[in-house]
Structure 1
Amino acid sequence: MTSHSSLGERLFRRKPVASLIAESGAADALPAGAPEEGGRSGIHLRRSIGLWQLSSIGIGATVGTGIFFVLSSAVPEAGPAVILSFLIAAVTAGLTALCYAEMASAIPVSGSSYSYAYATLGEVVAFGVGVCLLLEYGVSASAIAVSWGQYLNKFFDLAFGFQIPDWMAAPPGDGGYFNLPAVILVAMVVFLLIRGVGESAKVNATMVGIKIVILVLFIAIGLTGFHSGNLRDFMPLGFGGVQVAASSIFFSFIGLDAVSTAGEEVKNPRRTLPLAIIISLVVVTLLYVGVALAAIGAQHWQLFDGQEAGLAQILQDITGQTWPAMLFAIGAIISIFSVTLVVIYGQTRILYSMGRDGMLPKKFAEVSPRTGTPVWNTVVVGIAVAVLAAFVPLDILTDLTSLGTLVAFSVVSVGVIILRRTQPDLPRGFKVPGYPVVPLLSVGFCAYLIYGLHPLTYLFFGIALALAAAVYFGYSIKHSRLNQPEPELAKVA
Structure 2
Amino acid sequence: MSMSLRDQMLRKKPLQIAHPDEADHHHSGPDLNRTIGTFQLMLFGVGGTVGTGIFFVLQEAVPDAGPAVIVAFVLAGVAAGLSAVCYAELASAIPVSGSTYSYAYHSLGEVFAMGIAACVILEYGVAGSAVAVGWSGYFNELLDQTVGVTIPDALSYSPIPVEGGTTGWVNLPAIVLVVLCSLLLIRGASESAKVNTVMVLIKLAVLVLFAVIGLTAFQADRFENFWAAGSAGITAAAGTIFFSFIGLDSISTAGEEVKDPQRALPRALVGALIVVVGIYLLVAIAGVGSQPLEEFSSEEQQSAGLSVILENITGSAIPGTILAAGAVISIFSVTLVTLYGQTRILFAMGRDRMLPDRFAEVDSRTLTPTFNTIVVMVVVSLIAGFVPSDYLWDTVSIGTLIAFSVVAIGVIVLRRTRPDLHRPFKVPGYPVTPILTVAACVYVLSGLAPITWVIFGVWLAALMAYYFFVARHRSRLTEEVAS
Q: Normalization by structure 1: what TM-score?
A: 0.92
List aligned pairs for 1:2-81, cutoff 5 A. Answer: 2-3=1-2, 5-18=3-16, 28-30=21-23, 36=25, 39-40=28-29, 43-81=30-68
Which AA in structure 2 matches 1:249?
Answer: I
List aligned pairs for 1:86-235, cutoff 5 A. Answer: 86-173=73-160, 174-235=166-227
Question: Following the alignment from structure 2 to structure 1, what is the Cα–Cα distance between the partners of residues 171 and 241?
Answer: 26
Q: Post-superposition shift, 1:124?
A: 0.6
**Does the C-alpha gap of structure 1 residues 296 and 463 become closer, same or farther in structure 2, counting only changes over 3 Å?**
same
Q: Post-superposition shift, 1:367?
A: 1.0
How far does the alpha carbon of each residue in 1:390-440 deviate from its partner, in whole angstroms, 9 at most, with x for none? 233453132121111111110000000001111112111211000000000
Question: Following the alignment from structure 2 to structure 1, what is the Cα–Cα distance between the partners of residues 285 and 176?
Answer: 36
Q: Post-superposition shift, 1:450?
A: 0.5
Tell me, yes or no, if structure 1 residue 268 matches structure 2 residue 260: yes
Question: Following the alignment from structure 1 to structure 2, what is the Cα–Cα distance between the partners of residues 198 and 434?
Answer: 36
Q: Which residue of 2 aligns with 1:472?
A: 467
Q: Which residue of 1 aligns with 2:431?
A: 436
Identity of aligned residues (%): 54
Q: Post-superposition shift, 1:366?
A: 1.1
- Equivalent pair of 1:142/1:386 in contact (CA under 8 Å): yes
Tell me, yes or no, if structure 1 residue 484 matches structure 2 residue 479: yes
Moved more, 212-221 or 182-191: 182-191
Q: Post-superposition shift, 1:39?
A: 3.4
Q: Which residue of 2 aligns with 1:236?
A: 228
Moved more, 335-344 or 347-356: 335-344
Q: Secondary structure at the match of 2:67?
A: helix
How far does the alpha carbon of each residue in 1:289-342 deviate from its partner, in whole angstroms, 9 at most, with x for none? 111111122223333233343322332233221213212221221233111111
Over the residues paired in the alignment, what is the CA RMSD in angstroms?
A: 1.9
1:354 to 349, 352, 358: 349
- Equivalent pair of 1:189/1:341 in contact (CA under 8 Å): yes
Q: Secondary structure at the match of 2:140?
A: helix
Question: Following the alignment from structure 1 to structure 2, what is the Cα–Cα distance between the partners of residues 74 and 392?
Answer: 20
Q: Post-superposition shift, 1:348?
A: 0.5
- Equivalent pair of 1:403/1:450 in contact (CA under 8 Å): yes
Q: Which residue of 1 aligns with 2:276?
A: 284
How far does the alpha carbon of each residue in 1:159-197 deviate from its partner, in whole angstroms, 9 at most, with x for none? 111222221222343422133222222221121111110
Q: Post-superposition shift, 1:36?
A: 4.0
Moved more, 121-130 or 313-322: 313-322
**Does the C-alpha gap of structure 1 residues 194 and 126 become closer, same or farther in structure 2, counting only changes over 3 Å?**
same
Question: Following the alignment from structure 1 to structure 2, what is the Cα–Cα distance between the partners of residues 162 and 29?
Answer: 57
**Structure 2 segments unaligned to the other structure (5+ residues):** 161-165
Q: Which residue of 2 aligns with 1:311?
A: 306
Moved more, 124-133 or 385-394: 385-394
Q: Which residue of 1 aligns with 2:373?
A: 378
1:395 to 390, 396, 404: 390
**Does the C-alpha gap of structure 1 residues 347 and 216 become closer, same or farther in structure 2, counting only changes over 3 Å?**
same
Which AA in structure 2 matches 1:407?
Answer: I
Q: Secondary structure at the match of 1:424?
A: coil
- Equivalent pair of 1:111/1:261 in contact (CA under 8 Å): yes
Q: Secondary structure at the match of 2:92?
A: helix
Q: Post-superposition shift, 1:37?
A: 6.9
Question: Following the alignment from structure 2 to structure 1, what is the Cα–Cα distance between the partners of residues 322 and 50?
Answer: 16
- Equivalent pair of 1:85/1:246 in contact (CA under 8 Å): yes
Moved more, 111-120 or 295-304: 295-304
- Equivalent pair of 1:359/1:479 in contact (CA under 8 Å): yes
Question: Following the alignment from structure 2 to structure 1, what is the Cα–Cα distance between the partners of residues 4 and 133?
Answer: 46
- Equivalent pair of 1:47/1:264 in contact (CA under 8 Å): yes
**Structure 1 segments unaligned to the other structure (5+ residues):** none
Q: Secondary structure at the match of 1:304?
A: helix
How far does the alpha carbon of each residue in 1:17-76 deviate from its partner, in whole angstroms, 9 at most, with x for none? 21xx69xxx97244xxxx947632xx4100000011101110111113331132223222
Moved more, 145-154 or 104-113: 145-154
Question: Following the alignment from structure 1 to structure 2, what is the Cα–Cα distance between the partners of residues 124 and 444?
Answer: 23
Tell me, yes or no, if structure 1 residue 366 matches structure 2 residue 339: no
Moved more, 311-320 or 191-200: 311-320
Q: Normalization by structure 2: what TM-score?
A: 0.94
Question: Following the alignment from structure 1 to structure 2, what is the Cα–Cα distance between the partners of residues 164 and 394?
Answer: 18
Q: Secondary structure at the match of 2:309?
A: helix
**Does the C-alpha gap of structure 1 residues 370 and 130 become closer, same or farther in structure 2, counting only changes over 3 Å?**
same
Question: Following the alignment from structure 1 to structure 2, what is the Cα–Cα distance between the partners of residues 166 and 100?
Answer: 42
1:245 to 211, 234, 237: 237
Tell me, yes or no, if structure 1 residue 343 matches structure 2 residue 338: yes
